[in-house]
Amino acid sequence: MAMKPITRASKEYHRSAMTRMREFLARYEDPSQSVGTMLDTQAQRVMDNNQKEEEDEGSNEGNFVQLVRFRVETDKVLADYLAKGPKNARYTSKTIQNELVGVVGDKIRSDIIEEVKGAKFYSFIADEVTDASNKEELFLVIRYVHEGQIRKVFVNFVEVQRITGRVLGEAILKWLRDNNTSPADMRGQCYDGASNMAGARLGVSFSAKRQRLLDKAIEASNHTSKARKLKDSCRTRWVKRIDSYAVFLELLSPLHTCLQAMVDRNSHTELGTDWSWDGETITKANGFLFQL
């Protein structure tokens, strides 16, 4: 019987089969070299490393405590207090740390506000951002001149529920009032190009501009009321409307002056003549004057 010739293809198949057989026998005799075992070993190594990192992080008490411990090396009084003092009065907890940060922040902010008041006039820079927890926040920056130098400093983050121009404008004006900074001294505003920040009618710039005019009218009329803005009339609780009506009556005279200045900028030159209002605003102001 004649033998079949050995072709190149059969030689390749034979060598491949022999290679697979040798690999199989090697893994059978030494299971540690199998793919599954190697993957399990690598996974265990990763878990061990993660556990070690977590343990290291657990021993890290934070920058503040580490700085205190560093100070202890040269301060015997502090060292004795931390070693022998009551554990509930060491003032190194995370709550105390946050309070200390807040106190320092308030002091720095207070010094900045005093410099702004000394400069009299200032510009305001603001923009809205979303933090890591998806909360809308407004960051505030003030630009002013102090001792002949232009300063531009960050002053605060303000959390807002919505990012409409009206809400952002009210948040900025509230921050200014809370820090006893007059919007009437604002000489510049800087926002991004988004409609909710720089819109002509409901944007921040417009809202702050109207408030500045009202503040000037209140100052010019020597008004004694503490009210500085109108209150929204509650549409569901009738009793609450009394407060909004009372504020409206208190501010009636300055409001009338504001509306007149909007319609005719030369009617009240004591408020300034550099106001510029669009046609729709002037028409609405004229309508309100007629109703008053």
Three-state secondary structure of 208-277: HHHHHHHHHHHHHCCCCCCCCCCCCCCCCCCCCHHHHHHHHHHCHHHHHHHHHHHHCCCCCHHHCCCCCC
Q: Can you give the residue ranges of every domain in the chain? A: 107-216, 221-292
Mean pLDDT of the chain: 77
Count of CB atoms within 10 A of residue 124's CB?
A: 24
Place of tokens 């004229």: 286
Partnered with residue 159 across adjacent β-strands are 137
CA 66 to chain centre: 28
pTM over 0.85: no
Q: Is 222 left (phi over 0), alpha (psi -120 to 50) or beta?
A: left
Q: Which amino acid is at 23?
A: E
Partnered with residue 150 across adjacent β-strands are 145
d(CA 143, CA 127): 14
Exposed/middle/buried for residue 223 (C-beta within 10 Å: 0-12, 13-18, 19+):
middle
42-56, 82-96, 108-122, 153-167: which range is least confident on average?
42-56
Helix axes 279-291, 252-263, angle to 10 degrees: 140
State the pLDDT at residue 87: 78
Structure letter (DSSP) for residue 4:
P
* CA distance to 53, 101, 199, per residue, from 128 (Å): 36, 23, 14
State the pLDDT at residue 202: 41
Return the exposure string of 179-214: e unless at least 16 CB atoms fall within 10 Å of the residue's CB, then b.
bebbbbbbeebebeeeebbbbeeebbbbbbbbbbbb
Q: What is the pLDDT of residues 232-268, one digit of tens each?
A: 666 666 666 677 778 778 888 888 888 888 888 778 8
Return the exposure string of 62-71: e unless at least 16 CB atoms fall within 10 Å of the residue's CB, then b.
eeebeebeee
Place of tokens 């977590």: 54
12-21, 32-41, 54-63, 171-180: which range is least confident on average?
54-63
State the pLDDT at residue 255: 83
Mean pLDDT for the stretch of residues 260-281: 78
